[in-house]
Structures are given as C-alpha cells and as structure tokens.
Amino acid sequence: MSNFLSTLFEYGKCVFGNQSSPSTKPPLIYQFLTGVADFAIFTGRYFMELIKPPYEFKELLKQSYRIGLQSLPLVGITGFIMGLVLTVQTRPTLAEFGAESWLPAMISVSIVREIGPVITALICAGKVGSSIGAELASMRVTEQIDAMEVSGANPFKYIIVTRVLATTLMLPILTVFNDIISMLGSLAGVNIHGDVSFSLFFAQAFAQLSFTDVFPSLIKTIFFGFSIGLIACYKGYNANKGTVGVGEAANSSVVLTSLMVFIIDMLAVQLTSLFIDT
C-alpha cells in the first residue's frame, strides 16, 4: 500500500511540480484518475470559452450544416426502416390478442420516448463522433492546431466550441426528423397487411402521445448531442502523435460516445420516472 502511494506521489510531483515524467509507465489507476481530471478541465474550459466573446457564428453554421443537414439522409433511411420493421415484428403479437388497432399508438410511444432518440444518437455517435475524432486528431498530427496556437488565435474556441455546440443543437432536430420518418415507415408497415389511411394512423398515434412523452425525450437528446460532441472533440484534440493516434481517436470516440448514450439514457429514464408518473 505504501509503495503504491509513493508511486502515485512521485507522479503527482511530476505533474504539479513541473518535473520531467518518470521513466516507468504510470499505474492504471493513476492514468484513469488523471484522464478523468483532464476531461473535467476540458469540459470546464468548454463552458468558459462558450460564454466568452468573440463568437464564431460562421464556423458554428458550417459545423451545423455538416453535422445536421449532411446526416439527414442516413437518419431518414434508418428511421424509415426502423419504423417499418418494428411494426411488422410487433403486429403478430398484438393480432393474437385482437389488439391490432393499438399498433399506431404503441409504435408512436416507443419511437418518441425511446427508440427514436437512442437510434439517432447512436447513428450520430458513429457518423459524427468518428468524423470529429479523426478530423481533430489529423489536425493535431499535422500540427494544424499548433499552427493556430502560435498564430495567437484560439483553436479551442474555433474548433471545439463550435463542434460541441453544433452537435448539441442538431441532435434534437435530427431526432424529431427521425421520429417523423419512423412513423411514416410504421404507416407503410401497417399497410402491408391492412388498409389504414394516413389521417387515421396519425390520429391514433397522436391520441396516446402526451407532453410528458415528447418533452423529456427531447431534453435527453440535448445531453446525447453534448456528450457526443464533447467526447469526440476531447479524444481528437488530445490525440497522440502519429497515424495510429488518428485511428485510436476515431475508434475511442465511437466506443465512448455510444456507451455514454446508453448511460445517459438509463439516467434519463430513472429521472423521468421520479418526476413523471409513467
């Protein structure tokens, strides 16, 4: 125990005492704790830079276009297939109980509350997370971020703040789009075996939807977007040198952001059930 503490103390001295790093590799617990502290500092800096002028509106619009508009086709196609498959798979079970008329309501509640936000976030974790992670890591490796720093500009504000803010703002919009397309997919699924009109389907679907279904799920997507942007930017911005670092940054961005989506979802469900009687 005393050996372990003395090792931690030695590494602590190196960080806080401005001494050279020791030659041996630090223990895993030390790497984990410094990683958490580093991420917390990164997050704190994000909020500080977010409120401090000047604001990079042009770059924010550019990133919103890349993250939001360019993700629409993928989110749309996935949403349509998801709605259709979910309907086709659920229909036989409901038919056994003679409850086929409940299909639109059931699908709409499950899509709006859970499946829509989570699937959209996972698509963005894959598409946007890997793209941001790899792009920033490449910029780090090719010294572009260093070049921004030495020119007296603020790369953190220009690169990080705009991307994190864009993912935070775009995720709720993409989720709403995904929900709508999923419902259209579900309508197509219902009409494979039956004949349900557009207006009847949506009347039944919206009859069971309430404010307490829509509002918490949209709030949840803001946190999904924030975590995807922040983690991917952190991984890319702090990438190790070399092309291996680029691959690792892209990979760990996707893995960590996907994991974070599920963790936030679990917390959101718990919190929602505390305040809203579902």
Partner 1 sequence: MEAITQHREKNKVASEAAIQITDLKKSFGSNTVLNGITITLNKEENLVVLGKSGSGKSVLIKCLVSLIKPDEGTLTVLGEDISTLHTDGLNKLRKRVGFLFQSGALYDSMTVTENLLFPLRESKDIDQSEREHLVKEALENVGLSEVEHKMPSELSGGMRKRLGLARTLILKPEIMLYDEPTTGLDPITSKEISELMLTIQKNYKTSSIIITHDMACAAITANRMVILKEGKVEATGTYKELSSSSDEWVHSFFS
Summarize as ranges the residues that interact with partner 1 (CB under 8 A).
18-23, 54, 142-144, 146-154, 158
Give the nearer residue to partner 1 in terms of CB position, either 22 or 44. 22
In the bound complex, what is the minimum distance in angstroms from residue 19's beta carbon to partner 1?
7
Comparing CB distances to partner 1, the nearer of 46 and 224 is: 46
Chain center to CA of 17? 37
Distances (CA, A) of 161 to 15, 22, 94, 165: 27, 34, 47, 6
Q: How far apart are CA 18 and CA 75, in angstroms?
A: 48
Among residues 121, 114, 108, which one has the least CA distance to residue 269? 114
Q: Of 137 and 190, which CB lies nearer to partner 1 in the complex structure?
A: 137
End-to-end alpha carbon distance in the chain? 49
Taking a C-beta distance cutoff of 8 angstroms, is the pair 204, 198 a contact? no
Minimum CB distance to partner 1, residue 157 (Å): 10
Q: Which is nearer to partner 1, 98 or 152 (CB)?
A: 152
At its nearest, how many Å lie between partner 1 and the CB of residue 134?
13
- Report the candidate in 85, 234, 75, 255 with the shortest Cα–Cα distance to residue 161: 234
- Minimum Å gap between C-beta 51 and partner 1 is 16
